[in-house]
Each structure stands twice: as structure tokens, then as C-alpha cells.
Amino acid sequence: MNTYHAHIGGRPFAAEAGAIMTTFAATNAATGAHLADIARCGAAEIDAAVAAARRALPAWKATTYETRSALLNRLADALEAQAPRLARIDAQDIGRRLAETLIDYQIAVAQYRYFAGAILTHEGHGRPIPDGYLIAKREPIGVVGQIIPWNVPAIMVALKVAPALAAGNTIVLKPDENASLSTLEFAAIAARIFPPGVVNVVPGFGEEAGAALTRHPGVAKLAFTGSAEVGRIIGHAGAERLVPVSLELGGKSPNIVFPDIEDIGAVVDNALFAAMYCNGQSCLAGTRLFVHDDIYRPFTEALAGAAARIRVGDPLAADTRLSCLVSERQGARVLDYIGLGKAEGARLLAGGERVRVPGCEAGCFVRPTIFEARNDMRIAQEEIFGPVLSVIRWRDHDAMLREANDVRYGLAAGIYTAGLENAMRTADALEAGSVWINHYFNLNSGSPFGGVKESGIGREHCHETLNLYSHVKSITVQNRVSAPQFVPPGQV
């Protein structure tokens, strides 16, 4: 569409008569072409969305698990049918290659189907008490405010929306201003499946729509994915109003290579994938690669050679393997870090420069960049969010583990080894929410996803996520009225 409004109460939201709608532009990240105008929403639209969600809550809360499951499966079917179109929108909006955004929709569809099944087994519990029974039941929390980033819009929407709806909540979702188009398209699809007001999407900027959503008194829970810095603000807002907050934040994940690996080429490919997928714009990226001294030289030579062969190109081209960063601003940030790495004394093994792609002159394309670095360098400590990998040599296992854990994040980690003892001993010692052995990004439906330390609070992507979006109510039933006792029955 040429213009996208907020989607509130099951339909596009128009401002009051006489009001002037302010918009911001969505542009093609690679070419700079204008894609659409998007409503720049603020407190008024958030108020309307929360009111719509509150009106829809009683009826949606009363639906059966079976009804919610059926509707989530219908949503999955609809998104699967629309995936080629939506993936193309994302490829243009954020600059990632089309082959990757198509995979995003496969992952997203799987999440809706997973939670359509998971909710059917989300029981409470109970047990007998003297002359009666205790019932503990799961109930939805209420209206949930959700804020997502720009890097993988389809997956981010699914990780937030699927469990929240399955648990019986209604939603007000704010997409990132750099990636709102496919989420607003999603809202229109959801409006044809769910009752009005169950799913509301309000685009805008963080300091306007996002701030209004986090402080709104009608929101009963907050869920956020993004930077640790903004996560602190969201957490503080939740603490002020005493509402639960779940946070999925940044990472600087270690990826560890043991000398007993049997196929250097295969591990090189997987380690590059771990660092460069999503153009390196992933909180999960394995951006610190620890390589054992015994194989360091052949491994790094193979790594640099493989990085040099990665084709950088148009996001829509079939042979592209690395495309552009989401914006000129993000590109400048990544290039600044590359300059910082050189200034810190890190040795450049591959890449390190911007690439001009014919027909995509507006986009910021950066070659896959590999540094030989120390763990105490800023490029190895700070989240760059771009195609930059720091390689760190190790020999002593305990010293390597100390360095692997010596960051403020703890989201994910990888291990490559042929030895079970190496794998399990190292996995147990790593401070990370997910550890993948011999296959990075091995995140299947049902695998808990979330971090420790400054990487967040709570787990997504799994059955436990339903507990983040519900609370337990206990009900006791006595068979008959009896006189109260000073000592509870059974405790004499």
C-alpha cells in the first residue's frame, strides 16, 4: 500500500476528523526507493489500541484452548500462503537477502503451529486437601504491550504474538520504525482471523509510541526484544507499575573450536554462517571465534579464504550471500567499529571495507570482516551488529573459558569438537542461555531461547513461554462449611 495506518480494533485506524496524520517514510534499504508512508503514532493511538485490547480481553480470555489453537493454525496457513510476498517486502525494507527472509517465514509459521499445539497441554494442577480439593489454574495476564526490533520482523512477531495469544491475552504490538511494513501487513491478515481488538499494531518511534506503550496503565505485561540499554528502560517502566517484564536483549556469543575437529572446511562454513547470517545483525551471532592453537593457522587461512569468496550483492539477487545493512546509520556504526579494531591493534584477516553494488548505491554493503583480536578489545566485547568476526587464539581450556564468559552478555554459544567430554564439560561451564554443539543456530521449535546476565530475562520459543504470559490462580473447595481452627488441618 502507499500509506499504512495503525491497525487497531481489527481495522486501519484513522485519526479524528480534522486531525493531520503525521507519517514517516519506509525506503528500500539497498536502493533508497520510497516504499510507503507509515503513520507516526503516539500516545493517542496507543490509548486507542489499549482500549480496544481491553474491550476484546473478556471474550478472548473465555475462549477454549481448542479455539485458540485452531485460530493460530489458521494464521499459520495464511502466513505460509503469503510468505513469498511478505518475504520480498522484508528484503526491500531491511536489506537482507530474499533467501533469508523466506526462511524467516518458515520459522515464524512453525512458531504459530508450535504454540497452537502447546496451548492444548498448558494445564494447571491440583491435589486433595483435608475434606476438599485445591485447584490451581492458569489464566492470561491481560493486555500485553510488545516491542520488537527490525532485524527479523517475521520471527520477532511470531515469538511475541504466538504465545501471548495462545495463553489468552490481547496484544498491542509496536514494530521498529525501520521495519514496520510486513508487521502491518501481518496485522491485516490477523484481523481476518481473530476477533476485533485481539491483535493491535501501532507503528511509530520508540520515544513516542514505545514510551507511551511502556508506561500505559492499561498494559498488564511488557515484552521487549532489543538492546540492553533500552531493555533497562523497559524494565524500569515495568518496575514502576509492578507489571511483569520479559526481555530478550543483546549478545556477544563465543564460538569455540577444539583441535580434534575432523573437517576444518565444514567448521569454517558453520562458523562463518554463525557470524554473517542476517548480515551479522543478530543478537545470536557467534562473533567471538575461539580457535585452538594447534589448528589456528590452517583454520584462519581457510576462514579468511572462505570469507573472501562470499558474494556481496543485491538483496533480491539469487546468488547473493551477504547483502546490505538496514540503514546508513547502522552502516556507519559498523564501519566505525572496523576502524576501532584497526586502531586497537587487531590484525585484519579479511574484508574491512564498504562495497559498492551496482543499482544499490543507497545501501551500505560491508565485506565480511575478520579480525585476529584479543578478548579485551572493544570489538570483542561490544555488540557491533554487523558482519564483523573476532578470532581469538587459545590453548589452555580453563583460561579460554574465563575469556568466553568474560563479557556482559550471555545469550548463546557454540562448540565444535569430536569429543563428548569436551562438548559437555565446556557446555556446562559456559554462561549462556543456549549452547549449540557442532551446529550453530540449532534453534528448533520447543528449544528454550533467552539469555543470562545482560542478555535478558525469560525464555521464548518453548512451552515455558506460556508461563511468561499467564499467572496461576489457586481455588480451594471444601466439601462442607466447617468451624475455623487456629491450627490448619493436617499441621497438628
Catalytic residue ranges: 248, 283
CB atoms within 10 A of CB 449: 19
Distance from C-alpha of 101 to C-alpha of 326, rounded to nearest angstrom: 13
Triad 158, 161, 162: Cα angle to 5°: 70
3-state class (DSSP) for residue 386:
coil
Q: Collect all residues with Cβ–Cβ distance below 8 Å to 447 and sequence separation of at least 6.
A: 434, 461, 462
Distance from C-alpha of 318 to C-alpha of 315, rounded to nearest angstrom: 8
List helix spans (H) across 192-281. Answer: 211-214, 228-241, 264-276
Please answer whether residues 201 and 183 qualify as being in contact, where contact means their C-beta atoms are separated by less than 8 angstroms.
Answer: yes
3-state class (DSSP) for residue 175:
coil
> Hey, what amino acid is at 111?
Q
Please answer whether residues 209 and 193 qualify as being in contact, where contact means their C-beta atoms are separated by less than 8 angstroms.
Answer: no
Distance from C-alpha of 35 to C-alpha of 3, rounded to nearest angstrom: 9
Distance from C-alpha of 447 to C-alpha of 459, rounded to nearest angstrom: 9
Triad 69, 222, 405: Cα angle to 5°: 100
3-state class (DSSP) for residue 401:
helix
Distance from C-alpha of 33 to C-alpha of 362, rounded to nearest angstrom: 9
SS3 content of the chain, % helix, strand, coil (to 5): 40, 20, 35
CB atoms within 10 A of CB 119: 24
If phi > 0 it is left, if psi is from -120 to 50 it is alpha, else beta; for residue 359 that is left
List helix spans (H) across 62-135. Answer: 65-94, 98-118
- Going by C-alpha positions, the residue among 246, 250, 285 that lies closest to residue 167 is 246
